[in-house]
Chains A and B, each alone.
Chain A
Amino acid sequence: MIPPYLLQEMAQLTGEHFVLVLSAMAIAVGAGIPLGVLLTRRASLRTPLLGFANVMQTIPSLALFGFLIPIPFIGGIGKRTAIIALVLYALLPILRNTLAGILGVDAAVRESAIAMGMTGRQLLWEVELPLAAPTILAGVRIATVTTIGTATIAAAIGAGGLGVFIFRGIASVDSTQILAGAIPAALLALLSDGGFSWIERRFSIS
């Protein structure tokens, strides 16, 4: 069913796509969760930081990739620029869910923890983060699934990935090529969604 000439390229581009998404998500999670925790401690930073993440989210993705190209150091053509754009997109759901998850911890539980003599660090690691984990994980899950879709556009600035098929298919009016990009991307999204749902079930308080 799949033309053999496509198979090898599909494997290669799926791999590229996966690496793009994985790098972007690693950075977004690594930056987003600590920043989200910071926002729970410094209310004055909430409006500017969430505002920034919000604005990033409203910029059409194709435009954002384009905007980044002329910016020195982080811009240019290729994977680095694409990863930065993807991180900017993924940041909002992670930030927002980290904030909401921690602020959503029952006030009586937090007060007990403080009254029992937990240090700020113990409160965070032993109470707030574990109780906020399902909400934070839901944010990472949304961010990952949308990033898998958005990463197809990264091909427009030469970052590779499954978008290469899609753009090529559009240019040559070849729906086989479009599908060769779209179907693995959709499968990747479904797989990661399923993976997250497994983790959620595995670690829920039962």
Chain B
Amino acid sequence: MDRSRLALRGKSLDRFLSPEDGTSDNKEVALEFRDVSYRVGGNLILDKLSFRMEAGRTLVLLGRSGSGKTTALKMVNGLLFPTSGQVLVEDRPTTDWDLIQLRRGIGYVIQEVGLFPHFTISENVGLVARLQGWPPDRVKARVAELLHQVGLEPAQFLHRHPRQLSGGQRQRVGVARALAAEPKLLLFDEPFGALDPVTRVELQDQFLELRDRLRITSIFVTHDVREALRLGTEIALLCRGRLEVLTTPAEFVKSSGPEACAFMSTL
């Protein structure tokens, strides 16, 4: 990479959030979107989206349906690629990554959970670790540890199949599965959207607990401003593919843009 480009990156830094402590310069940048646009046919889904994330933070992508938040998320683990611009994971564009390795290092949790119905809970959670060639004993220990972490008693759940679980339990397994191979990044696509309000709050609490304990860089997509304020260390508001606001939850409630106000009015 040439010098002028580095300088440009340095300059663009102060546009973005460097939280509280202001020592962002020596913090590791886990993820960066650089002028990312995505076009399908005549539709611009993402319009020059730029931001960077420090390691250990939780960025919530907030927006209406069709605002491009899921599209942005899928660009991080190479399920989609920008039609222009770059997404950099650990300073490397996703187009330069070996996609299999990139994805195995990123946990992914979606609303539909997507557990493998023919695998037991144990096999579901241990999958990435197994694909990565961990010895069976280590996989087994890790699976038990993770189930415990997400609040499921291993002995009771290890050998069940996904359809024997409730929606909330399934999503807990989904989170455990995403954490299995010690990912450097976690992606959540409206993971709690299909759950009843009580279970949703339980899982949000769990998420907060894991967030503060593990400090894994996370991106969390939601259209629920309450959830965004609760879970994010930063909130990025997307509107028709554009980044409207990127700020802390504390600042977000004070923002004056029309889209931010529209979201705040739902509280």
B114 lies within 8 A of A117 (CB): no
Task: Report the minimal beta-carbon distance from A122 to chain B, rounded to whole angstroms.
Answer: 7
Q: Which of B37-45, B99-107, B140-148, B196-204 contacts A (4 or more CB under 8 A)?
A: B99-107
Q: Which of B91-138 contact A (CB under 8 A)?
A: 99-106, 108, 110, 112-118, 127-128, 131
Closest to A111 in B: B114
A109 interfacial by beta-carbon distance below 8 Å: yes
Interface flags for A163-202 (1: CB within 8 Å of B; 0: not) read: 0000000000000000000000000000000000000000
Closest to A114 in B: B79
Residues from chain A with a CB closer than 8 A to the CB of B161 are: 205
A112 lies within 8 A of B131 (CB): no
Q: Which of A84-111 contact B (CB under 8 A)?
A: 106, 108-109, 111
Cα A91 to Cα B112 with chains together (Å)? 35
A115 lies within 8 A of B118 (CB): no
Cα A180 to Cα B225 with chains together (Å)? 76
B79 lies within 8 A of A111 (CB): yes
* Cβ-neighbour of B114 out of A109, A118, A205 (below 8 A): A109
Interchain Cβ contacts within 8 Å, total number: 57
Task: Report the minimal beta-carbon distance from A106 to chain B, rounded to whole angstroms.
Answer: 7
B128 lies within 8 A of A117 (CB): yes
Task: Report the minimal beta-carbon distance from B256 to chain A, rounded to whole angstroms.
Answer: 37
A131 lies within 8 A of B110 (CB): no
B77 interfacial by beta-carbon distance below 8 Å: yes
B103 lies within 8 A of A112 (CB): no
B79 lies within 8 A of A115 (CB): yes
A49 interfacial by beta-carbon distance below 8 Å: no
A115 lies within 8 A of B108 (CB): yes
* Cβ-neighbour of A111 out of B110, B117, B128, B177 (below 8 A): B110
In which size bucket is the chain B interface? 20 to 34
Residues from chain A with a CB closer than 8 A to the CB of B100 are: 117-119
A205 lies within 8 A of B110 (CB): no
Task: Report the minimal beta-carbon distance from B266 to chain A, rounded to whole angstroms.
Answer: 27
Cα A23 to Cα B128 with chains together (Å)? 40
Contact of A109 with B131 at beta-carbon distance under 8 Å, contacts A114-B103, A115-B108, A117-B100 already known: no
B114 lies within 8 A of A106 (CB): yes
Residues from chain B with a CB closer than 8 A to the CB of A109 are: 114-117
Residues from chain B with a CB closer than 8 A to the CB of A205 are: 117-118, 161
A116 lies within 8 A of B110 (CB): no
5 further interface pairs, Cβ-Cβ under 8 Å (given A111-B110, A117-B100, A117-B104):
A109-B114, A109-B116, A115-B106, A116-B103, A117-B131
Could you give 21 example pairs across A and B, Cβ below 8 Å?
A108-B110, A108-B113, A111-B79, A111-B114, A112-B114, A112-B115, A112-B116, A114-B103, A115-B77, A115-B79, A116-B104, A116-B108, A116-B127, A116-B128, A117-B128, A117-B131, A118-B100, A118-B131, A127-B116, A131-B118, A205-B161
Please list the residues of chain B having a beta carbon within 8 angstroms of any beta carbon in chain A.
Answer: 77, 79, 99-106, 108, 110, 112-118, 127-128, 131, 161, 177, 187
